[in-house]
Amino acid sequence: MLTKLWGGRFQKNTDKIMDDFHSSISFDSRMYKQDIIGSITHAKMLGKCGIIPSQDSELIQKTLFEILSDIENGLVEFQTDAEDIHMNVEKILIERIGDIGKKLHTGRSRNDQVALDIRMYLKREMDEIDSLLILLSKTIIELSEKNLDTIMPGYTHLQRAQPITFAHHLMAYFQMFRRDIERIWDCYKRTNIMPLGSGALAGTTYPLDRDMVAEELGFDSITENSLDGVSDRDFVIELAACLSIVMMHLSRFSEEMILWSSYEFGFIEMDDAYSTGSSIMPQKKNPDVAELVRGKAGRVYGNLMSLLTVMKSLPLAYNKDMQEDKEAIFDAVDTVKLCLEIFTKMLATIKVKEENMLKAAQGGFTNATDIADYLVKKGLPFRTAHEIIGKMVLYCIQNNKAIDDLSMDEFKQFSNSIESDIYEEISLKKCVSERKLPGGPAKESVLKSIENAKLFLESKT
Ligand code: ARG
């Protein structure tokens, strides 16, 4: 017996390996809800437009709701030889209500159906990722508020550069995640367009009400070209790109957490709940969360590359290649959600070792620029001041001193313009508090950026 819903023009069944090879049910079954809700809406519209009798439409809708609840209660087993989620659901519908169930697919193709399902599915995932990014952002803000006065060295080339605060450093990450949230919302706009009615590629002769379907399913608008409607996966690629950038940000943050928690830095300690030990070295406490997040960035980039490569040079319109979009984007989405969740928990529980941060800021001549600026204020050109302080730093290195340790006599050897107010002027506290331009590390500037951050998050929730 031929069992395929499309079996009419075939004279024998597909080989078992063929079923296994082209079937996508093992990974697209996760879209069951979107598929069924899409079908319910399609059936409703068919009834309303008089394309099928309204009692048939109602029976189809009711049965689809029952199938949905049966799936959610674990009562349905999907079949590989029914290929994908779309045909599995349709097959069950037909098993339950016979010929009436066979009317559901009127004016529709799996090509526009799958385009609809994936858009609906990714919209929901974008909402979830957005919430996770907001949670992470809030955690960053909370930690920043506790560390407005925590002085640490800021780095360039991984060398101590100028003093900042831990709050200021953390809020840099807030800016990155804020852009991620905005990027995902932008991608959401292009995902929120309804493709049903594109048919296989050339639309359909039935008088479907596409706008009604779009509105019922919460889409902003409908696709404008039937070929593009079934063959566009830009929104999938775009989301993978957004997620790759999220992972890039997380990997930079992770890298810093790993460095900061090392003995050499000693700026933070991770909570035991988010650390692991070594099977041989009893002293070890390893930052596995941060390392795995850093590592998983590669995996998400890989998914982006897969998607770009699958779509490269594909002729219009639908090609089965496009079924390969799912595992890649699902894995990207799953990975990012998992990473955001655990990273946020790890961040929320770190112990900040302020004394070590301060000690690090006191070494490394992080106030050298400020001393040059001190001389500029006393009337020297900046380049001249730079040269003088360079010599002063060299002297300190040779004599194993910090600039603040120099006596007045020593200072005078470098410049007569230096006076006793130097000590106050170049204290780390002052170096930070004087950088009060918008966007700077001074407490008042950071508080302002925290305020803006909160306003942004409020506007998003
Ligand atoms: N499982 C398919 C996919 O994910 C659904 C569309 C199948 N269309 C077709 N003409 N074979 O792309």
Distances (CA, A) of 369 to 266, 390, 444: 25, 10, 21
Under 8 Å between Cβ of 110 and 154: no
313 belongs to the catalytic site:
no
> What is the C-alpha separation between 84 and 28, in angstroms, rounded?
7
Whether the predicted pLDDT of 35 surpasses 70: yes
Three-state SS for 88?
Answer: helix
Tokens of 165: 């605060």
Domain check: are 287 and 385 in the same one?
A: no
Domain check: are 173 and 28 in the same one?
A: no
State the pLDDT at residue 2: 56
Domain check: are 174 and 71 in the same one?
A: no
Whether 337 is in a domain gets the answer yes
Domain check: are 209 and 227 in the same one?
A: yes
Whether 419 is in a domain gets the answer yes
As a whole number, mean pLDDT of residues 395-404 equals: 93
As a whole number, mean pLDDT of residues 14-23 equals: 90
More confident residue, 143 or 286: 143
Supply the CATH number for residue 380's domain: 1.10.40.30
Domain check: are 170 and 278 in the same one?
A: yes
Catalytic residue among 69, 109, 157, 169: 157
Distance 410 CA to ligand 1 centre (A): 79
Domain check: are 122 and 181 in the same one?
A: yes
Query: Which of 22, 79, 84, 119 for a ligand 1 pocket mutation test, highest count of atoms within 8 Å of Cβ?
Result: 84
Whether 232 is in a domain gets the answer yes
Beta partners for 200?
A: none
Last residue of a domain, one of 106, 141, 175: 106
Catalytic residue among 144, 278, 313, 407: 278
State the pLDDT at residue 426: 86
Tokens of 349: 């529980």
188: how many CB neighbours lie within 10 A of its CB? 19
Domain check: are 144 and 65 in the same one?
A: no
Three-state SS for 47?
Answer: helix
Whether the predicted pLDDT of 461 surpasses 90: no
Span 196-238, pLDDT tens digits: 999 999 999 999 999 999 999 999 999 999 999 999 999 999 9
State the pLDDT at residue 283: 84
Under 8 Å between Cβ of 116 and 195: yes
> What is the C-alpha separation between 337 and 49, in angstroms, rounded?
41
If you average pLDDT over every residue of the chain, what do you get? 96
42 belongs to the catalytic site:
no
Supply the CATH number for residue 63's domain: 1.10.275.10
Span 159-180, pLDDT tens digits: 999 999 999 999 999 999 999 9
Domain check: are 191 and 327 in the same one?
A: yes
State the pLDDT at residue 154: 97
> Which spans in 49-109 are helix H?
54-72, 85-97
Based on the structure, what is the number of domains in the chain?
Answer: 3
State the pLDDT at residue 226: 98
Whether the predicted pLDDT of 6 surpasses 90: no
Report CA torsion sign: 252, 303, 133, 262: negative
* CB of 117 closer than 6 angstroms to any ligand 1 atom: no
Domain, as residue range, for 332:
111-359
Last residue of a domain, one of 47, 82, 106: 106
Domain check: are 172 and 249 in the same one?
A: yes
* CB of 157 closer than 6 angstroms to any ligand 1 atom: no
Whether 285 is in a domain gets the answer yes
Whether 57 is in a domain gets the answer yes
Domain check: are 384 and 250 in the same one?
A: no
* CB of 111 closer than 6 angstroms to any ligand 1 atom: yes
Whether 225 is in a domain gets the answer yes
Whether 1 is in a domain gets the answer no
Residues contacting 7, CB < 8 A, separation 6+ = none
Whether 455 is in a domain gets the answer no
As a whole number, mean pLDDT of residues 191-196 equals: 98
With cut-offs at 50, 70 and 90, classify the pLDDT of residue 280: confident
Supply the CATH number for residue 141's domain: 1.20.200.10
Last residue of a domain, one of 106, 126, 141: 106
Residues contacting 316, CB < 8 A, separation 6+ = 201, 227, 228, 231
What residue's CA is closest to ligand 1, atom 4? 323
Domain check: are 16 and 123 in the same one?
A: no
With cut-offs at 50, 70 and 90, classify the pLDDT of residue 460: confident
Three-state SS for 399?
Answer: helix
Domain check: are 183 and 203 in the same one?
A: yes
Percentage of the chain beyond pLDDT 70 is 100
Tokens of 296: 């998983």
